[in-house]
Amino acid sequence: MPSEPETTRPRASRPRRGRDGSALGRFEKVGAWLGVWTPPKDIPVPPVPKRRILVGLLIAAAILTPVAILAGNAIDTSKDAGARRERRRQAALDAAERRRLTVDQRPRTTRAPPTPGLAPAAARAALVADLQRAIGADARLRARRGSLDGPVGRTICERSEIGSEAKLATVLARYRCTVVTGATNRSVRGFPFVTGYVFVATIHFDRRTLTWCKANPRPGEQGSRAAIAVKLSPSCAGPLRDIY
């Protein structure tokens, strides 16, 4: 008789087991512990291994804490180095600006020619006119050299009364002079004004010497460009050096 074909029964599939012998894999157990995944009813979920987790966290903290400290120190060191570079750069800029202002404000002195026969008031007026011409010539020279912008127009000098120098009024006088670079602005009725460069000067009447300095706006008037200020020489400004 022909033999009956042998039949094989399919083996029942066994649930895969994790390393701890449970039927759940690592990620399945984690999902079950976190409540983001629900296992089948016939598969038990092992308890959370709190002790192992705590030990793992302690080990991780022991490893990562020094790394974090080293990384923080490296960041702080980099920031400190950047701050030092910025301070050196700013110090160099300030030093260069101080040198520029010192040269720009260097006093100039000339002696006016004698004016025999003139009354004292007329002689002083002639000295003021000489001062205006001398400052105008200086401004035109600066414009040609590129240290100030033109066009250079007329020069206007007005006496600055200094109360503390009242006893010196017969010997010298201080002046604020403006080298005009634009047309007179008459937008405010009754108060015309001019724009230009400011010079501060001193006239010694007895010696007939004219000394002047170009002034520069103090920090605050010039915005963020002016990091420092250099006081004018007392030879041209006297007490006015505390103002300009």
Closest among 234, 239, 198 to 216, alpha carbons compared: 198
CA distance 46 to 33: 9
pLDDT in the model for residue 185: 63
The C-alpha atoms of residue 139 and residue 53 are separated, in whole angstroms, by: 82
pLDDT in tens, 136-177: 999 999 999 998 988 899 999 999 988 888 888 889 999 999
* φ, ψ (nearest 5 deg) of residue 85: -65, -40
The answer to whether 15 touches 43, Cβ cutoff 8 Å, is yes
1 falls in which pLDDT band (50, 70, 90)?
very low
pLDDT of 219: 63
C-alpha 100/C-alpha 104 separation (Å) is 6
pLDDT digits (tens, 9 = 90+) for 69-113: 888 887 878 888 888 889 899 889 889 999 999 999 999 999 999
Taking CA atoms, 180 is separated from 3, 136, 141, 190, in Å, by 128, 9, 15, 19
225 has pLDDT over 90: no
- Burial pattern 126-151, b for ≥16 Cβ within 10 A else e, equals bbbebbbebbbebbeebbeeeebeee
Is the pLDDT at 207 greater than 80? The verdict is: yes
At 224 the pLDDT is 44
Average pLDDT, the chain: 82
CA–CA separation, 194 vs 185, rounded Å? 6
**% of the chain residues with pLDDT over 90:** 38
Beta strands per DSSP E along the chain: 108-111, 155-160, 172-180, 196-204, 209-214
More confident residue, 51 or 203: 203
> What does pTM read for this prediction?
0.63
Percentage of the chain beyond pLDDT 70 is: 80
Calpha distance 150→139 (Å, rounded):
9
